[in-house]
Amino acid sequence: MKVLITGGFGNIGLSALEELLKAGHEVTVFDLPTKANLIAYKKFKGKIRVVWGDLRKLEDLERAVRDQDVVVHLAFIIPKISRTGIDCNEQPGIAEEINVGGTSKLLQAMRMQPVPPKIIFTSSLHVYGYTDQLSPPRKVDDPVMPVEHYSRHKLTCEELVRNSGLTWSIFRLAAALPISLKLDPGMFDIPPWNRMEFVHTRDVGLAIARGVSSSQIWGKILHIGGGPSCQLYYRDIVNRVLGSLGIGSLPENAFSREPFATDWLDTSESQMILNFQTRTFEDYIKDLKKAFGFKRYLFRALAPIIKKFLLSRSPYYRVSRQGKLLEGKVALITGASRGIGREISLKLSQAGLEVILVSRNREALDSLAREIEGKGGKAHPYPCDLSLEEEREKLNLWVKEKFQGIDVLVNNAGFGWYGYLEDMPWDLAREMVELNSICPLHLIKLFLPQFKSRGSGYVINVSSIAGEIPSQGVALYSATKSFLSVLNSALYRELKGKVFFSSLKLGPVDTQFFEPERPKGSLRIPGKVFALRPERVASEVLKLLWRPRREVYYPRWMRVIPLLEFTFGWLFDALGPALLKRQFQKSARSSKVS
């Protein structure tokens, strides 16, 4: 049979490629011409056909699917580690364009063929969400509750495949670890007691190769896992992997305590049809030892240094080690009811701080306080309108009476407005300046005596990259954020060693800031390009308590923005009016649609 593999030079793709060739199929690989992929191709040169291309380009996909019998769709942007350098959760906009948009274009290209090929789509056990409270194993008809961008993309693609009109099968994969050691900080995001089913990448390749020739898989969703012998707890996987390399186990307080979306799977049907479970976790350990060879002895000799390095990569270990530093301290977070403020409140409470939640929305604050207390934290909701000076002064008096002061102030409250300044209602403009600029200034001035009386303090100002590059359509918002950044830098120098000031300069964040429920008179900002997750922003805030810095750009690459303004400001000046007009028209159309 003629079989196309998208993403054929990845971890699973290479295993599938080898098994398909072994079974005598004619294989075409569709992938990006990256350096790693070009090296991988050399091993198979003359044995396979390769189409270098981009999933987002229909013409590339049409060349790849031509005359194929079966398409095995593996290509996908994943969280944490990606050969493309894109993180599904850090850059969901680009990832969705590749994952969902690319899958849609692939299906379109397949339907355009005179005889459309069949498709095997590889999904993930992550689609079931958090299931630690349920009895294992997970069955294919269990409810799906994706909790992050990657699994949402997988589930959306499953729907596209099922409704494509093509002959299809969906393989939901267990954890297919690569035969290598990638020490990414994401390894610490899984609690030690989390259930996780392992499946050897070569067994996944075997399941795909046998599935291509099977008549029984079509129209079915199948679990591809290692079986009962590969149903482990995460602590067992980590300890066995590190132990086999001579590094040894890591303390459990280095790992998250929050549930992770993995579990054990019912693979009885898939094993009956495909008979693919030929390797165990012990076989994987043997493969690892063989792959690292003599390096294992070097690892063993350097084990204390390697272990120290690994623990330095764990944010949870730092929390536990610095618990005494943060535990019992009081943090006040403005704009705490939703979005970034909500996630900051959760993150700081988990780190041992007592949090004061400030926002206009009483109901949302009460709900958040109950959630924090349900997880063992301490929270105090304080509903008020921070755009009013008298409300800020009342807040200060209440804090003095109840806590005798605070240790951390997070100035997060604020809002934006998109459109021509002349169209912005004056009341709204005055409120923006009051909330985005005057409010943090006033709160800093009110709480400075409390910081000094306690011997130290932390002020974290949640700012925006808009303050660094004045942009058409957000003129006043940019100005308020620029004010906040300059104020932060000046006070950092004025009070260094007494009170720590940090400015967190953010790119677009995936919050209600981008939703159509904007302040009256405002239009929706077009798109969510490169949008950050609020929980990742909250992690950056926590890092600033461990290691105060005057300013931090997040994502990191945005530190080049001031240079762009300095170098290409003349170009922005020239294009600004035209760009705003175009964006304004696009925003107006999208607002009418919504």
Active-site positions read 477
**Which burial class, exposed, middle or buried, applies to 565 when counting CB atoms under 10 A from its CB (0-12, 13-18, 19+)?**
middle
Q: Could you tell me where the beta strands, DSSP code E, fall in 174-253?
A: 195-197, 221-224, 231-233
DSSP annotation string for 257-273: -S--S---B--HHHHHH
Helices (H) and strands (E) in the chain, counts: 22, 16
- C-alpha 428 chain-centroid distance: 33
- Token digits for 120? 């095997």
Q: Which residue has the tokens 């769709």?
A: 73
CA 471 – CA 479 distance, rounded (Å): 10
Q: Which residue has the tokens 């175009």?
A: 582
- Token digits for 491? 């006070």
The CA R_g of the chain, rounded to the nearest whole Å, is: 27
Q: Is 436 helix (H, G, I), strand (E, B) or coil?
A: helix
> 241 CB contacts (<8 Å, ≥6 apart)?
181, 285, 288
DSSP annotation string for 489-531: HHHHHHSTTTSEEEEEEE--BSSGGGSS-PSTT--PPS--TTP
Establish whether the linkage from the previous residue to 555 is cis, with ω within 30° of 0.
yes
For residues 125 and 262, is the Cβ–Cβ distance under 8 A?
A: yes
Long-range CB contacts (< 8 A, 24+ apart) of 394-398? 395/358, 396/443, 396/446, 396/447
CA 113 – CA 547 distance, rounded (Å): 58
Where is 313: in which H helix or E strand?
none
Q: Could you tell me where the beta strands, DSSP code E, fall in 212-353?
A: 221-224, 231-233, 330-334
For residues 443 and 411, is the Cβ–Cβ distance under 8 A?
A: yes
For residues 545 and 436, is the Cβ–Cβ distance under 8 A?
A: no
Any bridge partners for residue 331, and if so which? Answer: 355, 408
> 587 CB contacts (<8 Å, ≥6 apart)?
418, 419, 523, 524, 525, 526
CA 436 – CA 448 distance, rounded (Å): 19
For residues 509 and 340, is the Cβ–Cβ distance under 8 A?
A: yes
> 435 CB contacts (<8 Å, ≥6 apart)?
386, 387, 413, 414, 415
How many CB atoms lie under 10 A from the CB of residue 566?
A: 9
